[in-house]
């Protein structure tokens, strides 16, 4: 499993975040002939990877707008959004990551990148998992939660 950040600000003027969310996709807006490296990275995204939509204006904090899970590894054309992968968006908001400014990881201004910072990976996972209620806590035994996992059946 990998975590990827993707930008949704096209041509410096148009925010397509809502289009990504409504279409259940994460896309690269650049044509393959104009940005072959981005398309090679897009092709590396697999089912189960985590994608987050971000904004990172130069000299400003990183803003995470949505977090989702990739549901298919086939790349498809999505019209004016470009080529992309299907994503089930789980979390949406505007979370400011001030600590990202202090890291020496200068790829966050890119359209698409793999997130390699353990601290940022943890923050992204926290946003994603905040949508789910845990059925067990550390130290619990499986037997304490069997009634939540399985419906009793008559034999």
Domains in the chain and their CATH numbers? Answer: 3-149 (3.10.590.10)
**147 vs 21 pLDDT, higher one:** 21
Q: pTM of the entire structure? A: 0.82
Rounded mean pLDDT of 6-33?
Answer: 92
The two structure tokens encoding residue 7: 């930008």
Query: Residue written as tokens 């998992």?
Result: 129
| Distance of alpha carbon 39 from alpha carbon 29, whole angstroms | 10
Q: What pLDDT score does 148 carry?
A: 52
**150 vs 124 pLDDT, higher one:** 124
Tell me the three-class secondary structure of 52-81, residue by residue: EEEECCCCCCEEEEEEEEECCCCCEECHHH
pLDDT in tens, 32-54: 999 999 999 999 999 999 999 99
CA nearest 88: which of 29, 47, 28? 47
| Distance of alpha carbon 81 from alpha carbon 29, whole angstroms | 5
- Name the CA radius of gyration of the chain, rounded: 18
Whether 137 shows a pLDDT value over 60: the answer reads yes
The two structure tokens encoding residue 60: 């400003």
pLDDT in tens, 94-131: 988 876 555 655 666 788 999 988 888 999 999 998 87
């Amino acid at each position: 499993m990998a975590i990827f950040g993707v930008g949704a600000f096209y041509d410096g003027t148009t925010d397509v975040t809502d289009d990504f969310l409504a279409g259940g996709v994460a896309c690269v807006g650049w044509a393959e002939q104009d940005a072959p490296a981005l398309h090679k990275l897009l092709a590396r995204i697999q089912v189960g990877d985590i994608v987050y939509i971000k904004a990172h204006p130069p000299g400003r904090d990183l803003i995470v707008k949505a977090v989702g899970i990739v549901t298919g590894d086939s790349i498809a054309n999505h019209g004016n959004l470009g080529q992309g992968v299907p994503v089930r968006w789980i979390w949406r908001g505007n979370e400011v990551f001030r600590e990202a400014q202090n890291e020496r990881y200068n790829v966050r201004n890119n359209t698409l990148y793999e997130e390699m910072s353990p601290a940022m990976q943890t923050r992204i996972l926290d946003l994603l998992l905040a949508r789910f209620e845990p059925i067990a806590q550390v130290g619990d035994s499986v037997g304490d939660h069997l009634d939540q996992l399985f419906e009793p059946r008559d034999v």
